[in-house]
């Protein structure tokens, strides 16, 4: 153990390649791999030697080699290791990247779907190895590393963590559906330490979509509801009791910045569902409140910019009233609403969800196990897992994804082409101006 710790804590010098390989070879030895298969060519690592030869699940030994070549065993460093940094600085980053890739079906070819249990057991094994590296990094008087794993967990991984004093909790995980996997024949090679995207600039297709919708949306008015879904009374949040068949799904896009920028809605989107069918849609851009400004991260995520809201946004009070009237008396569904949408409703409008009206679909997903990739799966990931051909970070689009996810969690999954056909038809009929001016997605 002391020799491994010394190898991992050694600072990088000019012989960084030999140092990195030595550390990985020693880790392969304790992890049940084949150290002699590890190689480094230029900045690309061949990681096959780190793969455990076999993993035991439910008393059955499974050979990990069966996953090759569908799952990549190569990773490329984007830059040379920093001289003077400890070797484990790169090793831990490598393990985090590999675990993230292995636990995400969107990175994996459909051919490995029948072997999902083995794939995920291997990702857990790599996470355990990473935890060992972290454990050796700590001083003796520090608390032991504790990690959260999502089954299945191999006997070899348990033995490894016990040997090095790592503690863990284990949660269940559901098997991902077919649409979650990549259509590619094999997993893409990994890149370690990729450059971060430029902030404040949205992808061009997203910008075109937002502008096209803003130009084409018609102004709609709804009868005033006698049962608003949001009220000024501060309640103890109570979820909807049951699983409704008739409901409204909503989502907000918003700017969440510092005190000068403020936190306010930029788009409100919703769809109305009856008997597992979309029957109406609501999409509205919202003007920026006086004295506030849109932050750069919001613009890069959503494609919504200040000029668009000045020209096509509706006054916040008007947008809110029409949204409430559109909901009517429906139960309300959202995704991960507590830290985002509900906070905006509270800070901007002083409103709270009416008790017993709101169902958080993210909470349903968590209750069944974090599906399918990890503990913090966001809505954009679910969109890909469900196979939806729709942009992320558009309020009405995210409402569609939430609707499709809810259907899946209820045991009535909808084919992605059926969801999109429903939405496109109803969205055009209910929310756009005359057909000649409609924006075609």
Residue 320: CB partners within 8 Å, gap ≥ 6? Answer: 268, 349, 351
Q: What's the whole-number mean pLDDT along residues 395-421?
A: 91
Residue of 137, 120, 133, 138 whose CA lies nearest to 160: 133
Say how far apart CA 410 and CA 401 lie, in whole Å. 14
CA distances in angstroms from 430 to 218, 223, 280, 321, listed in the order given? 9, 15, 6, 18
Between residues 78 and 129, which one has the greater pLDDT? 129
Q: Residue 321: its pLDDT value, please?
A: 96
Q: What's the whole-number mean pLDDT along residues 94-122?
A: 88
Say how far apart CA 337 and CA 334 lie, in whole Å. 6
Q: What's the whole-number mean pLDDT along residues 424-435?
A: 88
Q: In the predicted model, is pLDDT for residue 398 greater than 60?
A: yes
Q: What's the whole-number mean pLDDT along residues 298-311?
A: 90
**DSSP 3-state of 304:** coil
Asked if 12 contacts 27 with a C-beta cutoff of 8 angstroms, the reply is: no
Q: In the predicted model, is pLDDT for residue 196 greater than 50?
A: no
Q: In the predicted model, is pLDDT for residue 438 greater than 50?
A: no
Q: What's the whole-number mean pLDDT along residues 287-298?
A: 88
> Exposed, middle or buried by CB within 10 Å (0-12, 13-18, 19+), for 101?
buried
Q: Residue 199: its pLDDT value, please?
A: 47
Q: Residue 130: its pLDDT value, please?
A: 95
- Residue-wise pLDDT tens digits, 120-172: 899 999 999 999 999 999 888 889 999 988 888 999 999 999 999 999 998 87
Q: Residue 435: its pLDDT value, please?
A: 55
- Residue-wise pLDDT tens digits, 240-286: 666 788 999 999 999 976 666 778 999 999 999 999 999 999 999 99
Q: Residue 384: its pLDDT value, please?
A: 79
Q: What's the whole-number mean pLDDT along residues 234-241?
A: 62
Q: Residue 180: its pLDDT value, please?
A: 76
Backbone angles phi, psi at 328, to 5 degrees: 65, -130
Rg of the chain, C-alpha, whole Å: 25
Asked if 137 contacts 126 with a C-beta cutoff of 8 angstroms, the reply is: no
- Residue ranges of domains in the chain, CATH in brackets: 1-192 (no CATH), 206-431 (3.30.420.10)
Asked if 21 contacts 14 with a C-beta cutoff of 8 angstroms, the reply is: no
Say how far apart CA 441 and CA 280 lie, in whole Å. 18
Q: Binning pLDDT at 50, 70 and 90, where does residue 197 land?
A: very low
**DSSP codes of every residue in 416-427:** HHHHHHHHHHHH
Residue of 99, 36, 47 whose CA lies nearest to 73: 47
Asked if 165 contacts 49 with a C-beta cutoff of 8 angstroms, the reply is: no
Least confident span in 124-128, 185-189, 432-436: 432-436
Residue of 437, 430, 423, 439 whose CA lies nearest to 220: 430
Q: Which residue has the tokens 């909503």?
A: 250
Q: Residue 178: its pLDDT value, please?
A: 76
Asked if 334 contacts 253 with a C-beta cutoff of 8 angstroms, the reply is: no
b/e 325-343 (16+ beta carbons within 10 angstroms → b): bbbbebbbbbbbbeebbbe
Q: What's the whole-number mean pLDDT along residues 14-34?
A: 95
Number of C-alpha atoms within 13 angstroms, CB side, residue 32?
Answer: 21
Say how far apart CA 221 and CA 29 lie, in whole Å. 68
Q: Residue 195: its pLDDT value, please?
A: 42
Supply the DSSP symbol for 391: -
Q: Residue 258: its pLDDT value, please?
A: 63
Please report, in angstroms and rounded to a whole number, the separation of the first and last CA atoms in the chain. 58
Q: What's the whole-number mean pLDDT along residues 181-210?
A: 71
Supply the DSSP symbol for 182: B
Q: Binning pLDDT at 50, 70 and 90, where does residue 301 land?
A: confident
Q: What's the whole-number mean pLDDT along residues 169-177?
A: 75
Longest CA–CA separation in the chain, Å: 74
Between residues 173 and 36, which one has the greater pLDDT? 36
For residue 263, the Cα-to-chain-centroid distance in whole angstroms is: 22
Beta strands in 68-121 (DSSP E): 74-77
Say how far apart CA 28 and CA 31 lie, in whole Å. 5
Q: Residue 296: its pLDDT value, please?
A: 83
Say how far apart CA 370 and CA 372 lie, in whole Å. 6
For residue 81, the Cα-to-chain-centroid distance in whole angstroms is: 29
Q: Residue 237: its pLDDT value, please?
A: 54
- Alpha-carbon torsion (27, 33, 36, 42), positive or negative: negative
Say how far apart CA 110 and CA 298 lie, in whole Å. 34
- Alpha-carbon torsion (324, 327, 330, 335), positive or negative: negative
Q: Which residues pair with 62 in a beta bridge?
A: 55
For residue 173, the Cα-to-chain-centroid distance in whole angstroms is: 15
When the pLDDT of each residue in the chain is averaged and rounded to a whole number, the result is 87
Asked if 117 contacts 97 with a C-beta cutoff of 8 angstroms, the reply is: no
Q: Residue 204: its pLDDT value, please?
A: 65
- In percent, the amount of the chain with pLDDT more than 90 equals 55
For residue 202, the Cα-to-chain-centroid distance in whole angstroms is: 18
């Amino acid at each position: 153990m002391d020799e491994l710790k010394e190898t991992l804590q050694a600072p990088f010098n000019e012989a960084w390649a030999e140092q990195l390989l030595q550390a990985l070879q020693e880790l392969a030895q304790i992890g049940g791999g084949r150290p002699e298969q590890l190689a480094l060519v230029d900045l690309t690592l061949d990681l096959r030697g780190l793969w455990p030869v076999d993993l035991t699940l439910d008393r059955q030994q499974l050979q990990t080699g069966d996953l090759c070549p569908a799952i990549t065993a190569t990773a490329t460093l984007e830059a040379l290791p920093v001289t003077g940094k400890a070797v484990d600085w790169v090793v831990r980053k490598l393990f985090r990247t590999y675990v993230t890739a292995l636990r995400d079906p969107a990175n994996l070819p459909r051919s490995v779907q029948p072997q999902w249990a083995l794939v995920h057991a291997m990702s857990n094994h790599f996470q355990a190895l990473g935890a060992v590296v972290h454990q050796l990094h700590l001083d003796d008087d520090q608390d032991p590393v504790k990690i959260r794993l999502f089954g299945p967990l191999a006997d070899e991984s348990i033995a490894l963590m016990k040997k090095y004093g790592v503690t863990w909790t284990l949660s269940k995980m559901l098997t991902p559906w077919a649409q979650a996997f990549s259509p590619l024949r094999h997993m893409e090679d990994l890149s370690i330490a990729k450059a971060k995207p430029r902030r404040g600039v949205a992808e061009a297709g997203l910008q075109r979509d937002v502008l096209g919708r803003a130009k084409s949306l018609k102004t709609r008015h709804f009868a005033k509801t006698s049962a608003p879904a949001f009220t000024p009374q501060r309640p103890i949040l109570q979820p909807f009791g049951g699983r409704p068949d008739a409901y409204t799904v909503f989502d907000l896009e918003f700017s969440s910045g510092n005190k000068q920028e403020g936190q306010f809605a930029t788009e409100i989107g919703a769809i109305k569902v009856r008997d597992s069918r979309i029957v109406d849609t609501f999409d509205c851009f919202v003007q920026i409140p006086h004295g506030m400004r849109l932050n750069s991260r919001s613009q890069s995520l959503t494609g919504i910019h200040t000029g668009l809201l000045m020209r096509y946004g509706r006054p916040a009070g008007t947008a809110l009233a029409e949204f409430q009237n559109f909901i009517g008396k429906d139960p309300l569904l959202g995704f991960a609403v507590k830290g985002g949408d509900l906070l905006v409703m509270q800070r901007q409008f002083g409103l709270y969800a009416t008790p017993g009206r709101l169902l958080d679909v993210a909470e349903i997903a968590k209750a069944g196990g974090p599906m399918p990739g990890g503990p913090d799966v966001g809505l954009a990931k679910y969109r890909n897992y469900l196979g939806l051909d729709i942009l992320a970070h558009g309020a009405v689009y995210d409402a569609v994804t939430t609707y499709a996810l809810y259907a899946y969690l209820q045991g009535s999954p909808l084919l992605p082409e059926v969801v999109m056909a429903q939405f496109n038809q109803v969205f055009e009929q209910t929310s756009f101006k005359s057909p000649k001016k409609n924006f075609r997605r």
